[in-house]
């Protein structure tokens, strides 16, 4: 076994910040420890309330809990190099089929209990439970066994070679096993802040964890996550000084707010906007009809008129730092309505119509639909936009009960096959294909999942990309870029590769 990384000190935030383009801007504003102020309350505005305090349910709303109430086993810097978290050291077996973690010593849960290897095992057991595993359930599908040879060591054995082991460790938030039954209302972790109260639909209060293992962190005494029904109200609250920091600033407000606030842009492509196409239903059951959408969507128009420039176009889901990122393919799919029309004619559906399913919670999605509708209208194809509430939307989306549907996918910036955690990229039980997922895609996915050899991986990624583009049941459009807005007195903010806010180093300088 080869130890990969054994740092003596925790340089995570600095490494993370220095590695990103946007990060350098706010690192300049970050003060050295000696100059930082202690104490105070940080009020963070969010558009949605937490739907649970379960770190294994990684809905967008819950992102801010992951690194603040909880810790993960390992972390990533911006170039996906693993950094220590609750696991201080690790060793991956040469055959790639197991990993041994050495836990950090002296870590305590907020309940006062020491973090033991057995607790980590129980977290893996929960993740593997169909009822309670949530987003971690597919992530641990390749895990055969997790054991604790002693109180400070965890051994994870995989069913087959696991190229994405750090994606798993980095996503795995660790909670106190005794609190696993009350996650609906509260959470107990090891993070820099501990739970105080949750007033549903209004706010959640966390306070400084004095026993935290970070060096001198956290700086703030209290963090209040304030929920706003819509992002306009959230932005207004930032302007009136109610909030010190807001997450998920709408793209349209980014330029305007930059005059008064420090704007921090997340990783381009932590999420990717796309159009999901049902390839089993007319009119898009023919490949040519799906290809037509590749040419009919005005990607630059979406970037300019829907995302107000806070984005960049892409034809593949993968983020720029993903190993599967391929700059060259963009040129093959220009905005070309003439070509789109030819392809529709070839598929025999020119002059046809389709329903476009969308929901109002994310204003970009109806807006993308409008762009597509206006352009398809020019070539004689009718798109009816059906705006439904979120319950119905998700029911139809996950049930495959749609023709086309704008949406977005995550896990686009890590090991490329992770993208298959999004329902639309699932290799089985796929909402569109069921268990009849296109073979080229399935083969490429298995090939990429089956090797830790870099050259073989590269070849597999190329096939993977080709299959996604050719089958065209997901038409990637543009990256979603998270934007955080910080009042000038907020210092030391950072975010993870998933654009989760990291608040332990934040101090309030006023």
User: Cα 292 to the chain's mean position, in Å?
Assistant: 29
Q: How far is the CB of 57 from another protein (least distance, A)?
A: 8
Sheet-wide strand order for 271-277 = 382-387, 353-358, 404-409, 271-277, 474-480
User: Cα 480 to the chain's mean position, in Å?
Assistant: 10
Cis peptide before 283 (omega within 30 of 0): yes
Q: How far is the CB of 86 from another protein (least distance, A)?
A: 26
* Residue in 236, 440, 452, 462 binding another protein, rule: CB under 8 A: 236
How many residues bind another protein, per CB under 8 A? 57
For residue 417, report the phi and psi dihedrals to the nearest 5 degrees: -70, -10
Q: Is residue 184 involved in binding another protein (CB under 8 A)?
A: yes
Tell me if 379 sits within 8 A of 391, measured CB to CB. no
Q: Is residue 259 involved in binding another protein (CB under 8 A)?
A: no
Q: Is residue 406 involved in binding another protein (CB under 8 A)?
A: no
Q: How far is the CB of 370 from another protein (least distance, A)?
A: 5
Q: Is residue 181 involved in binding another protein (CB under 8 A)?
A: no
Q: Is residue 428 involved in binding another protein (CB under 8 A)?
A: no
Q: How far is the CB of 241 from another protein (least distance, A)?
A: 7
Token duo for residue 192: 């820099």
Q: Is residue 260 involved in binding another protein (CB under 8 A)?
A: no
Within positions 119 to 148, which residues make up the interface with another protein, using CB under 8 A?
130-131, 134-135
* Residue in 24, 41, 111, 185 binding another protein, rule: CB under 8 A: 185
x/- track of binding to another protein for residues 301-340 (CB under 8 A): x--xxx----------------------------------
Token duo for residue 61: 């709303």
Instruction: List Cα–Cα distances, 77 to 48, 85, 114, 414, 495, in angstroms.
Output: 27, 12, 27, 11, 10
241 backbone φψ class: left, alpha, beta (φ>0; ψ -120 to 50): left
In angstroms, the CA 119 to CA 189 distance is: 11
Pairing of strands 353-358, 87-92: unpaired
Q: Is residue 21 involved in binding another protein (CB under 8 A)?
A: no
Q: How far is the CB of 224 from another protein (least distance, A)?
A: 12
Contact residues for another protein, defined by CB under 8 A: 51, 57, 59, 130-131, 134-135, 184-185, 199-202, 228-230, 232-234, 236-237, 239-242, 250, 252-253, 256, 298, 301, 304-306, 360, 363, 366-367, 370-371, 373-375, 377, 385, 387-392, 394-395, 397-398, 423, 429
């Amino acid at each position: 076994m080869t130890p990969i990384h054994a740092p003596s000190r925790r340089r995570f935030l600095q490494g993370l910040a220095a590695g990103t383009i946007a990060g350098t801007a706010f690192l300049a504003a970050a003060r050295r420890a000696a100059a930082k102020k202690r104490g105070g309350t940080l009020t963070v505005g969010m558009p949605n309330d937490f739907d649970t305090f379960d770190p294994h349910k990684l809905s967008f709303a819950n992102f801010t809990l992951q690194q603040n109430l909880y810790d993960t086993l390992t972390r990533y810097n911006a170039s996906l190099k693993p950094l220590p978290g609750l696991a201080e050291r690790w060793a991956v077996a040469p055959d790639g089929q197991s990993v041994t973690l050495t836990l950090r010593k002296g870590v305590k849960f907020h309940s006062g209990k020491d973090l033991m290897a057995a607790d980590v095992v129980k977290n893996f057991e929960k993740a593997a439970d169909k009822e309670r595993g949530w987003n971690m359930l597919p992530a641990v599908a390749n895990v055969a066994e997790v054991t604790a040879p002693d109180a400070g060591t965890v051994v994870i054995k995989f069913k087959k070679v696991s190229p994405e082991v750090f994606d798993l460790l980095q996503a795995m938030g660790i909670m106190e096993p005794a609190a696993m039954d009350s996650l609906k209302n509260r959470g107990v972790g090891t993070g820099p802040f501990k739970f105080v109260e949750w007033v549903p639909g209004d706010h959640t209060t966390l306070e400084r964890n004095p026993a935290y293992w970070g060096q001198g962190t956290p700086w703030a005494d209290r963090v209040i996550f304030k929920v706003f029904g819509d992002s306009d109200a959230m932005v207004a609250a930032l302007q009136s000084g109610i909030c010190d920091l807001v997450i998920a600033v709408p793209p349209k407000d980014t330029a305007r707010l930059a005059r008064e606030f420090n704007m921090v842009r997340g990783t381009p492509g932590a999420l990717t906007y796309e159009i999901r196409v049902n390839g089993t239903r007319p009119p898009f059951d023919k490949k040519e009809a799906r290809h037509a959408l590749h040419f009919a969507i005005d990607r630059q128009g979406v970037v300019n008129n829907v995302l107000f420039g806070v984005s960049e176009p892409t034809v593949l889901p993968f983020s720029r730092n993903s190993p599967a990122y391929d700059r060259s393919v963009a040129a093959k799919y220009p905005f070309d309505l003439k070509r789109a029309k030819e392809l529709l004619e070839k598929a025999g559906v020119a002059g046809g119509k389709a329903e476009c399913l969308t929901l109002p919670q994310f204003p970009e999605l109806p807006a993308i639909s409008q762009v597509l509708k206006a352009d398809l209208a020019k070539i004689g194809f009718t798109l009816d936009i059906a705006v439904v509430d979120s319950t119905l939307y998700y029911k139809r989306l996950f049930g495959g009960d749609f023709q086309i549907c704008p949406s977005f996918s995550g896990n686009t910036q890590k090991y490329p096959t992770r993208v298959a955690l999004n329902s639309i990229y699932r290799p089985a039980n796929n909402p569109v294909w069921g268990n009849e997922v296109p073979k080229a895609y399935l083969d490429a996915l298995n090939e990429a999942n089956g090797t830790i050899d870099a050259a073989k991986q590269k070849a597999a990624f190329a096939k993977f990309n080709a299959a996604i583009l050719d089958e065209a049941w997901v038409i990637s459009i543009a990256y979603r870029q998270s934007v955080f807005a910080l009042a000038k007195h907020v210092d030391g903010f950072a975010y993870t590769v998933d654009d989760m806010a990291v608040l332990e180093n934040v101090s309030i300088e006023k």
